[in-house]
Structure 1
Amino acid sequence: MPPSPVEFASLLCSRLCHDLLSPVGALNNGLELLADETDPAMRQRCMDLLAESARTSANKLKFFRLAFGAAGGFGEQIDAREAQAAIEGLLADHKRIALHWLVDAAQLPKPAAKALLNLAVIAADALVRGGDLTVGAEEEGGQVEIVIRAEGPRLVLDPDIRRTLTDGDGEGDDGVTTRTAAAWLIYSLAGAVQVSEPAANVVVFGAALRG
């Protein structure tokens, strides 16, 4: 059974808290170390770690605001450059993932932008040893077609996420969870997503939404 709006909001809140716990916790630990440290070199190292954790936290918040929230202004379109910047920021710490942005449109409808962002993260998470992440979208005849391609030396796509993308609530024992919340959001926006079987270390996601 699909989650109720309140249940889904709770799942997203849990997901956001989980993803922010590490960088925010690192900020707290860094401040505690800085308060007791007197060596100049170590204090500088603490400052560098604080700056890195603050940047990571800000990048995650910017992405979540666009992918899950009501960011992008009051109109029905989102600047494609803003979506690109959100993905680039989120992947900034993933040095082994190369992003290839193939979206020519200047703007994307909000539902399409949210589906694209969340699919891109699912694809990036599957690249456990790094690789290439290609993000493409085009609008034609009032329909936005999204294609996300992940290629790397090792691909691991959670079967629950795959099932939720293709079947909706997945009908699993746990239903929709924090782990599959983003996949369910994509399904609720785009309907069933086409997911190729991993072959030669490549997996491709395809979705179509009305503009």
Structure 2
Amino acid sequence: MAMKSHEFASLLCSRLCHDLLSPVGALNNGIELLADEHDPEMRARCLDLLAESARASANKLKFFRLAFGAAGGFADVVDTREAKAAIEGLFGGDGRIKLGWMVEEPTMSKAALKVLLNIALIAGDALVRGGNLDVGAERHEGGLDIVIRAEGNRIVLDPELKQVLIGAVGEDDVAPRAAAAWLAHSLVQEGGGTIQVADGEEGMLLIGASLPA
């Protein structure tokens, strides 16, 4: 039986709340500190921290809107520059992760773009000490190939995420932290495609998705 829409919505809400808790909590703490702080230098520092937390919250929301939501209205295709900006906003703010963009296609279907964003999210999260995140996509007569490569000193991929991506976990066993993996798997499966994960080489993670035309 396919996962019901409200069950998947619950997974996504849990994931969103988890990811937004830190920057929104920092905003709340910063406002409380600012209210009690009278030293000009410390107030300036509090304002900087508030601005940083606000940017992080906004970037996460922009990414999740495109990766999980109905961004772009009802159009069949979305500008791939939106995906690049979303990934840069999510991972590029502190300089820990360097994005390599190798997507020449000007547009992609919403489903394909969501697959790209969600596997990029998984690969980027695996770069716990930073590194390089390369995003590539190539269209051919048979369809579209998407490849995400993460390279860094330490890569940690949750084994459950890998199992969900390749379809080795039952729907009833999907945890909120695997929402992105489940969405990518479901979209690729619905399109008759496949996802491959290669994490055997130390310091390297490859996630590929093939989507038929």
TM-score, structure 1 normalization:
0.94
1:185 pairs with 176, 179, 183, which one?
183
Contact 2:164 2:181 in 1 (8 A): yes
Call closer, same or farther: CA 1:186–1:31 in 2, change over 3 Å.
same
Contact 1:2 1:175 in 2 (8 A): no
Partner of 2:91: 91
Name structure 2 gaps, 5 residues minimum: none
Alignment partner of 1:43: what SS? helix
- Cα distance in 2 between the residues matched to 1:186 and 1:94: 26
4+ runs deviating over 3 angstroms? none
Could you tell me which residue of structure 1 aligns to residue 53 of structure 2? 53
Per-residue CA deviations over 1:74-121 (Å, capped at 9, x if unaligned) read: 211110101000000001344221110000011111001000001001
Q: Using the alignment, how far apart are the partners of 2:173 and 2:134 within structure 1?
A: 30
2:137 alignment partner, SS class = strand
- Please give the secondary structure, in 2, of the residue aligned with 1:198: coil
Q: Equivalent residue of 2:176, what SS?
A: coil
Alignment of 1:145-164 (within 5 A): 145-164=145-164
Aligned partner of 1:109 in structure 2 is 109
Q: What is the DSSP-based 3-state SS (H/G/I as helix, E as strand, rest coil) of the residue aligned with 1:179?
A: helix
Which runs of 5 or more structure 1 residues have no equivalent in the other structure? none
Amino acid at match of 1:183: A
What's 2:131 paired with? 131
More deviation, 175-184/89-98? 89-98
What count of residue pairs does the alignment treat as equivalent?
Answer: 209
**What secondary structure is seen at the aligned counterpart in 1 of 2:14?**
helix
Counterpart residue identity of residue 52, structure 2: E
What corresponds to 1:9 in structure 2?
Answer: 9
Shift in alpha-carbon separation, 1:2–1:160, aligned structure 2, 3 A? farther
Contact 2:123 2:148 in 1 (8 A): yes
C-alpha change, 1:53 and 1:197, in structure 2 (3 Å) is: closer
The answer for the alignment partner of 1:209 in structure 2 is 211
Which stretch of structure 1 is more off in the superposition, 36-45 or 197-206?
197-206
Shift of 1:36: 1.2
1:174-197 CA-to-partner distances (Å, cap 9, x unmatched) read 701111111010010113410113
Identity of aligned residues (%): 61
Instruction: Please provide the CA RMSD for this pair.
Output: 1.6
Matches within 5 A, 1:15-54: 15-54=15-54
State the partner residue of 2:170. 171
1-side partners of 2:128 and 2:30: how far apart? 28
Deviations 1:132-176 (A, max 9, x none): 1110012222622100111111111111000000125x139x701
User: Which secondary structure state, in structure 1, belongs to the residue aligned with residue 25 of structure 2?
Assistant: helix
Letter in 2 for 1:177: A
Once the 2 structures are TM-superposed, how far is the Cα of residue 33 of structure 1 from its aligned partner?
1.1
